[in-house]
């Protein structure tokens, strides 16, 4: 791994050295090779690559349509199509260059036992960290998503914690009642970091056929449309994390350096780039340049000096206007 300590963009994330604060998000870059071979991409453009969601057995995914563009965003319902953990371990990981990039596995499942087993398999691999996608439905609990229930979330994190010594990153759902409480429970269960947020649930309708456009009826909404929600959630989770030294990957609609800087100021230690890659595959280079220019302009020597520096307005008593 190239030493990046001298770079103001370098980030220490759970003891892992990221060349930049940018993380390529799960589901947006396949299993890494699909993106890193894009002409003009450099391994130093991103600090880490989060691989596609992986389950114990292969999955074919949802029926078409799986992706649909919306105003300022994108709906997707891929359905966790993947070749299964054994194929990822034996066929995909050996082709990745771990000398140049950090790679994060994304673990998904339909039961607590499946999460534990997939995590255990990745523990004995060169993968750098493991992200837990707790937005999956628990088949034993009638399809209720793990991430929308703090008790279920904690159970999954605890099970994965028992299965690995690698850094655990819990991907939090914005569709829960109290994301800060969910984060607190996950910290108690052993989470080392968070990815905030996962997609919001949404729908698009074909008015001629009067049917949902997405074959799964509903899908996850990503892109600029969710950025204000994501920023608030990062701020709320940061209030819980800062006393524990728990870092956050802030994500949700980041398309520019200004967007990334907002997330860092709100409390993120790193930022995730996803939907923007679909229309600008080299956007990371522009975002890195913008962050570096901001740090220099404000005489900051590192991203860490900027993280969590949000200054909130103090509430004032209402004026009667008399």
Does position 41 have pLDDT exceeding 80, yes or no?
no
Q: What is the mean pLDDT of residues 283-296?
A: 97
Q: Which helix (H) or strand (E) holds 144?
A: strand 144-145
24 — phi, psi (to 5°)?
-80, 125
Supply angle C-alpha 56, 60, 65, rounded to 5: 135
Does position 2 have pLDDT exceeding 50, yes or no?
no
Q: What's the mean per-residue pLDDT of the chain?
A: 93
Q: What is the mean pLDDT of residues 146-172?
A: 96
Pairing of strands 73-76, 67-70: antiparallel
d(CA 292, CA 21): 11
Cross-strand partners of 271: 22, 250
Q: What is the predicted pLDDT for the residue at 4?
A: 44
Model pTM? 0.94
Cross-strand partners of 309: none
Q: Percent of the chain at pLDDT above 70?
A: 94
Q: What is the predicted pLDDT for the residue at 204?
A: 97
- Which stretches does DSSP call E strand in 55-112? 67-70, 73-76, 102-107
Q: What is the predicted pLDDT for the residue at 142?
A: 62
The DSSP call for residue 91 is I
Q: What is the mean pLDDT of residues 38-48?
A: 80
Q: What is the mean pLDDT of residues 297-309?
A: 98
pLDDT band at 201 (very low <50, low <70, confident <90, very high): very high
Q: Which residue has the higher pLDDT, 33 or 156?
A: 156
Q: What is the mean pLDDT of residues 10-18?
A: 97
- Share of the chain residues as helix, strand and coil, in percent rounded to the nearest 5: 35, 20, 45
Please give the structure tokens belonging to residue 65.
């349509």
Pairing of strands 22-24, 48-54: parallel
Instruction: Domain ranges for the chain, please list them.
Output: 11-305
Does position 220 have pLDDT exceeding 50, yes or no?
yes
Any idea which residues carry the catalytic annotation? Answer: 136
Q: What is the predicted pLDDT for the residue at 1?
A: 43
Please tell me the CATH superfamily of domain 11-305, with its number: Aldolase class I (3.20.20.70)
Strand, helix or coil for residue 70: strand
Of 230, 238, 236, the closest CA to residue 273 belongs to 230
Q: What is the mean pLDDT of residues 28-46?
A: 77
d(CA 11, CA 248): 12
- Lowest mean pLDDT of 36-40, 101-105, 183-187, name the range: 36-40
Q: Which residue has the higher pLDDT, 135 or 287?
A: 287
Does position 182 have pLDDT exceeding 60, yes or no?
yes
């Amino acid at each position: 791994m190239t030493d990046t300590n001298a770079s103001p963009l370098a980030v220490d994330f759970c003891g892992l050295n990221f060349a930049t604060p940018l993380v390529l998000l799960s589901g947006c870059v396949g299993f890494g090779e699909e993106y890193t071979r894009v002409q003009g991409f450099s391994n130093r453009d991103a600090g880490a690559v989060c691989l596609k969601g992986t389950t114990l057995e292969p999955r074919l995914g949802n029926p078409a349509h799986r992706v649909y563009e919306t105003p300022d965003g994108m709906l997707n319902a891929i359905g966790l199509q993947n070749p299964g953990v054994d194929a990822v371990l034996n066929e995909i990981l050996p082709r990745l260059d771990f000398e140049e990039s950090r790679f994060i596995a994304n673990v998904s499942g339909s039961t607590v036992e499946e999460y534990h087993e997939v995590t255990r398999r990745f523990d004995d691999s060169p993968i750098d960290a493991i992200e837990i996608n707790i937005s999956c439905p628990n088949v034993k609990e009638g399809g209720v998503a793990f991430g929308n229930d703090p008790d279920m979330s904690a159970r999954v994190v605890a099970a994965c914690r028992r299965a690995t010594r690698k850094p655990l990153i819990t991907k939090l759902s914005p569709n829960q009642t109290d994301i800060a409480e969910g984060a607190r429970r996950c910290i108690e269960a052993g989470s080392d970091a968070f990815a905030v947020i996962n997609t919001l649930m949404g729908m698009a309708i074909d008015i001629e056929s009067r049917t949902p456009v997405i074959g799964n009826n509903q899908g996850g909404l990503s892109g600029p449309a969710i950025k204000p929600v994501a920023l608030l959630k990062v701020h709320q989770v940061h209030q819980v994390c800062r006393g524990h030294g728990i870092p956050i990957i802030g994500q949700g609609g980041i398309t520019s350096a200004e967007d990334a800087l907002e997330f860092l100021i709100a409390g993120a230690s790193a930022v995730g780039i996803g939907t923007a890659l679909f229309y600008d595959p080299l956007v990371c280079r522009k975002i890195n340049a913008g962050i570096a220019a901001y740090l220099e302009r404000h005489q900051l020597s590192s991203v860490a000096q900027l993280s969590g520096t949000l200054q909130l307005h103090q509430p004032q008593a209402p004026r009667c206007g008399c």
